[in-house]
Amino acid sequence: MAMSLDDARRYIADPRFKLINPETGLRFTPATLEAFIKAKRLQNKNEAAMSKEPQTQIPIPEAEQNSVANSVIETPASYKDKRMEFAKGTRFVLTTEQCLLPIVQELIDLLIEITRDGLVSKEGVQRLNIWLAGKSELDIPAINYLSASLDHSGEFTTSKAFHVQFAIERILPKTIRGAIKRTRQAICKKATEAQLDYIRVLGGTPPFGLKCSEAHLLIEELLAKSPPPSMQPATEKQIHFIRELGENPPTGLTKSAASSLIEELLAKQRELQARQELPTPRQIMVLRFWNRIDLEQSSKWEVEQWLTQFYDEDPRRRATWETFKLENSDDGFCRSLPLNYPHRVWCRGCEFCNAGLNHPHSKRYHPRSG
């Protein structure tokens, strides 16, 4: 239908409607509408002059009326769902000035939140759709572009999720877009060999081209359906590792029992190795600190057992050792005691006196030893 200038101005003043420029695909504002009319009048005048046709008055050029009549009057999302069309080359990225607006900052926070997992979900799209409702009057191309990118028809599919995800990445500034893009690319990587093997162990069959994120979900699904470890048979890797540790796994061994057996065998292996080794330089340093030089010729295992029992009997002994390390800036790599180190043990509750031990340090650092 034809539209007069008064009708066009009335539509622009009504926030429920949008008057779209058919040449650019952008929304008319009062200023751009007047400029559009002026340009059309000038164009009509030039065409009339070239054709040498007399023209006494130009109330509203026919070309102008046709252009206004062909303009799209678009209602907000609460009235109907209509995809917008944009001119080629339109910039949708939020500018620095727009990012300073409170409402744009609110939008950016929402977009970061719903894309945190790498790909926007159905619930995230619903939240975005609710936020965009009533924002159609804002003259911000990025918001209009997001509104046009939401497809409300049919079921929510992975294809639609990627469509919205790419639209979100397109409007965000580069500083924010980079992190979101890297997260999306990470979940789109192919599943690792470890994931594929684990899926097979759980009784599943990984499909060809399985993504890393899809493999993670499939593993969780298989774990939810599988029986508890106490009822699952031991894996081939567990059986093989038990044999490597010198034990013959019994028949009917479960996964949890195999894990306990492996821990027990590893502990025995460590004990056997420690019994055959001399104390480490660090252990000898600790023995000299506590004046237990008599244990220097013991095995590494015996020193470990003595230290464990010694510290468990009185927790303050460990606190004394920690105080010494702090006073001497010991980072754990020192292998000998410094000469004349100024280790001061507080006289109240002295560890050496309470433990019935002779204080190993000089009298000048221990008032009670004098």
Q: Which of 83-87, 152-156, 299-303, 353-357 has the highest mean pLDDT?
A: 299-303
**CB-side neighbour CA atoms (13 Å) of 335:** 3
Phi, psi at 343, each rounded to 5°: -85, 115
Residue 362 has pLDDT above 60, yes or no: no
Let me know: does 114 contact 138? Beta carbons within 8 Å. no
**3-class DSSP state of 109:** helix
Residue 347 has pLDDT above 80, yes or no: no
Residue 245 has pLDDT above 80, yes or no: yes
The whole-number pLDDT of residue 87 equals 56
Gap between the Cα atoms of 329 and 167, Å rounded: 55
* Angle at CA of residue 221, ends 115 and 117, nearest 5°: 10
**35: pLDDT confidence band, cut at 50, 70 and 90?**
confident
Residue 359 has pLDDT above 80, yes or no: no
Nearest to 135 by CA among 56, 76, 188, 191: 76
Let me know: does 283 contact 303? Beta carbons within 8 Å. yes
Average pLDDT, the chain: 75
Tokens 């102008």 map to which residue? 64
Residue 52 has pLDDT above 70, yes or no: no
Give me the mean pLDDT over the 190-207 stretch: 85
**109: pLDDT confidence band, cut at 50, 70 and 90?**
very high
Give me the mean pLDDT over the 222-243 stretch: 82
* Angle at CA of residue 258, ends 255 and 262, nearest 5°: 140
**76: pLDDT confidence band, cut at 50, 70 and 90?**
very low
**202: pLDDT confidence band, cut at 50, 70 and 90?**
confident
The whole-number pLDDT of residue 168 equals 92
Residue 41 has pLDDT above 80, yes or no: no
Residue 28 has pLDDT above 80, yes or no: no
Gap between the Cα atoms of 250 and 302, Å rounded: 32
Burial profile 49-75: b = 16 or more Cβ within 10 angstroms, e = fewer: eeeeeeeeeeebbeebbebbeebeebe
Give me the mean pLDDT over the 292-297 stretch: 86
The whole-number pLDDT of residue 57 equals 40
Tokens of 96: 């620095």
**107: pLDDT confidence band, cut at 50, 70 and 90?**
very high
Residue 156 has pLDDT above 60, yes or no: yes
Q: Between 70 and 133, whose confidence is greater?
A: 133
**3-class DSSP state of 139:** coil
What is the greatest pairwise CA distance in the chain? Answer: 126
Gap between the Cα atoms of 101 and 220, Å rounded: 42
**144: pLDDT confidence band, cut at 50, 70 and 90?**
confident
Q: Burial-class residue 213 by CB neighbours within 10 Å (0-12, 13-18, 19+).
A: middle
Residue 310 has pLDDT above 80, yes or no: yes
The tens digit of pLDDT for each residue in 246-268 reads 888 888 888 888 899 999 999 88
Q: Between 348 and 258, whose confidence is greater?
A: 258
The whole-number pLDDT of residue 31 equals 73
The whole-number pLDDT of residue 59 equals 44
The whole-number pLDDT of residue 343 equals 41
The whole-number pLDDT of residue 66 equals 45
Gap between the Cα atoms of 44 and 55, Å rounded: 10
The whole-number pLDDT of residue 172 equals 92
Residue 284 has pLDDT above 80, yes or no: yes
Q: Which residues contact 232 (CB under 8 A, 6 or more apart)?
A: 226, 254, 255, 256
Residue 204 has pLDDT above 70, yes or no: yes
**160: pLDDT confidence band, cut at 50, 70 and 90?**
confident
Lowest-pLDDT choice from 35-44, 87-96, 156-165, 250-259: 35-44
Gap between the Cα atoms of 135 and 139, Å rounded: 9
